[in-house]
Chain A
């Protein structure tokens, strides 16, 4: 805008500019606000419509969740932790199973939506609830049952992305689950402890016998099912010998 720059000398105030223009503007607004109604939204009684993308508190679809802990790891304020609760689904006459589900401390939640964004099964959703005031800090901690929310299409967050090697070539973006990272095993370090197989939330790890050691006991190595894997890092974290690493799809 340098060419038509307005300098003080060029833009002197006219006769009307002294005080009348601001008075004119305010009176115009006054008449507008009296004839129509003012812009104010009287909040507790009236509420603004929330757009589809609105990010309120995180919600949980209990049955979809597999307790993988991705939301716990990605949460920037670490307000999510996994707790053991009774499963909602139970067969007749049986004790309900114990399952791991996320618990969210909404007093610390940033409403960033990462938990829903990274959730591999769309169990964490972003709900439009934003009236979350409580009387105590304990009440702000939502256990998995309280965290449940009615599902509507659009609450879950699907991220479509491309790999860095594919940028600016013609490619349809894909869901993250379609080009997932797979854990790989460092054979040297593995001690056949089977913890990865036990902790895998989707049973993608099977222990396969590959031989016998010098004492005659079977050597078992984990084999990863790329179809089932959700690249949740659980096996990498629990591995006592750091034998597992994630092979990233890039």
Chain B
């Protein structure tokens, strides 16, 4: 988003800077601001099962903390500056004014919200399935769909652990593990420490789709 008309004055007003390794906000703290990265990199991490897990690394032009615009919920992850970072920081209360003056930023958020809406809906669709087996399958389908580089006609490898699957599926880890083991025994998938190989993801896709259809009838 280099074309963004964010002049110097804008930075004067909303600019904040962080040093390497400084926390910008921390998971579970209340969040009222969202951020736009002017320069530098920001690591988004989350404690999962008492281990710090990298969710993503964001860079120039990216926006984060945007859920604060919508609701006063605690932060769902921690943002840490990985190098010298320059940010624009906007309070929720200024949102309307800000958007009027900066259609480019508004457009950027529009794109982000579009993605988030879909992702959230997609996750919800998994959670609304009834059988744990299907939930697990659908998690794998969702992850496969999210990676445009995968060839879904062939065997695919997903960088995901049983814990991740459990979290997406809204299952306990042992329940998710049970389902994964079952799929592995029936030779539908292969389990590794840090990845899961799915033999025929299309088959899962079809199965989940037909069950979802019949669920409503």
The judgment on whether A and B are partners is no
Q: Which residues of B line the A interface, CB within 8 A?
A: none
